[in-house]
Every structure is written in C-alpha cells, then in structure tokens.
A and B are shown apart, each in its own frame.
Chain A
Amino acid sequence: KQEVTQIPAALSVPEGENLVLNCSFTDSAIYNLQWFRQDPGKGLTSLLLIQSSQREQTSGRLNASLDKSSGRSTLYIAASQPGDSATYLCAPSPYNTNAGKSTFGDGTTLTVKP
C-alpha cells in the first residue's frame, strides 16, 4: 500500500523567500505525481503533473522535481508571496489503474507573511 509523507507539516516564511516542500512515497512504481494547492474550505487546484519519465516540471514560480527511484518529489516556490499561503498536497498515481487511486499526503500548510 502506497504511503505518502509530506514534510514539513507547516511552514511559515517571510515574503520573498524561496522555499522547498518535500513529498516522499514508499512505492516507486508510479505512473505520475501531481501537486495540488488547497485554500481553506475549498477544492484542490492542480499545480503541476510530472510523468514518471520526467525529472521536473515548471510553471511560473513553481518547479517540481521527481526522483522516482528514491521515492521523492519536491515543490520549489520562488520569491514567495502572501497569495501563496495555502496547503500543498502531493499525490502519486500507480500504474494501470484509475486516476482516483492516487494516494494523497496530509499536505504542507504554508503561510507567507507580508
């Protein structure tokens, strides 16, 4: 059974700082890994999707990397802004099954202070 751990559970940084969120998973046989953002009481917004054959994906100030063999992914946020404050979740997906079988971590709650 896939287990996903996200460290740290919470992070508070001043505006403008670069930061890294970590995601580790126990079963490296994944098809892809998706990073989401969730604002309080809201749904999940997809940020980046990395296929298992890729090493990284970039979208604006966000960069996600994937090291499948070691069971790790990181989300790098450059020049953080107060609007980045949210909970960030990672979700690796297994092969040959449906997308709903993704296993979600508990998330890292980020607070960016002005």
Chain B
Amino acid sequence: ETGVTQTPRHLVMGMTNKKSLKCEQHLGHNAMYWYKQSAKKPLELMFVYSLEERVENNSVPSRFSPECPNSSHLFLHLHTLQPEDSALYLCASSHEMRITGELFFGEGSRLTVL
C-alpha cells in the first residue's frame, strides 16, 4: 500500500447529490489535511485534523463536511455542491501537527459538479 490513498479518483455528481471522498494513510501519522486545488489557483487548505480532532476549518462552506473516525482515515462528505466546487481534492498527512514536518499527499480525487 502506498502512503496516502484516496478514493474515488474521479467523481461526477449533480448539485443535489450526496457523496463522500475517502482518504487513508498507512504512515502512522497523527495529522491529516484536506486541500482544494482549482485550476489556475494555488492549493487551499480546507481542514486540519489531529488525532481525530478537527483543529482548523478555513472558512469552508458547510456543504463540505469532514469526518475523522480514527487517525488513519479521513472523509469529506459532499452535499448540495455548486459547479464552482469542481476541483482536485487532495488529502495529506504529517507525523505530528504541532511540529511542522514533511507533508505526504495522496493522488487526489477529481470532482466534477454538474
């Protein structure tokens, strides 16, 4: 298994659908992150989790709902999305949250909202 695994790799959904993105890390890390990467824009940090506790929410709309059931898994629940939410969603992990360390990313989930 690679370090950080994201599923699905591609997702197409309508504005009224409910779907979820999944991230799993096999590195024994304690911190996990969700990022959004839109065309022509730098990476935007969305959520930070440390030991299953959400420690940061960067003004993300409530139609994005994260869940961290344990330190290895992170979900991003999606509902009532808008076409402008179409982007590459990246999950990352690091050993600890407070000690700034190396980030490891997954392959991303390409989301298209129709």
Please tell me if A114 contacts chain B, counting CB pairs below 8 Å. no
Question: How many contacts A-B (CB < 8 Å)?
Answer: 76
Interface size class on chain B is 20 to 34
Main secondary structure of the interface of B (DSSP, over half): strand
List the one stretch of B13-21, B76-84, B97-105 in contact with chain A: B97-105
Given contacts A43-B6, A98-B31, A99-B94, contact A104 B42 (CB under 8 A): yes
Cβ contact within 8 Å between B103 and A99: yes
Cβ contact within 8 Å between A41 and B110: yes
Cβ contact within 8 Å between B108 and A43: yes
Cβ contact within 8 Å between A43 and B106: yes
Cβ contact within 8 Å between B42 and A49: no
Cβ contact within 8 Å between A99 and B42: no
Residues of A within 8 A of B94 (CB): 98-100
Given contacts A41-B110, A43-B108, contact A97 B103 (CB under 8 A): no
Q: How far is the CA of A46 from the CA of B103 in the complex (A)?
A: 7
Interface residues of A in 38-91 (CB under 8 A from B): 41-46, 49, 89, 91
Cβ contact within 8 Å between B102 and A99: yes
Please tell me if B74 contacts chain A, counting CB pairs below 8 Å. no
Cβ contact within 8 Å between B101 and A99: yes
Cβ contact within 8 Å between A98 and B100: yes
Cβ contact within 8 Å between B45 and A101: yes
A–B complex contacts, Cβ < 8 Å, 25 sampled: A31-B100, A32-B101, A36-B105, A41-B88, A41-B108, A42-B107, A43-B6, A43-B90, A43-B107, A44-B92, A44-B105, A46-B102, A46-B103, A46-B104, A93-B100, A96-B100, A98-B31, A98-B50, A98-B94, A99-B33, A100-B35, A100-B92, A101-B45, A102-B103, A104-B43
Name B residues whose Cβ lies closer than 8 Å to a Cβ of A: 4, 6, 31, 33, 35, 42-43, 45, 48, 50, 55-56, 88, 90, 92, 94, 97-98, 100-108, 110
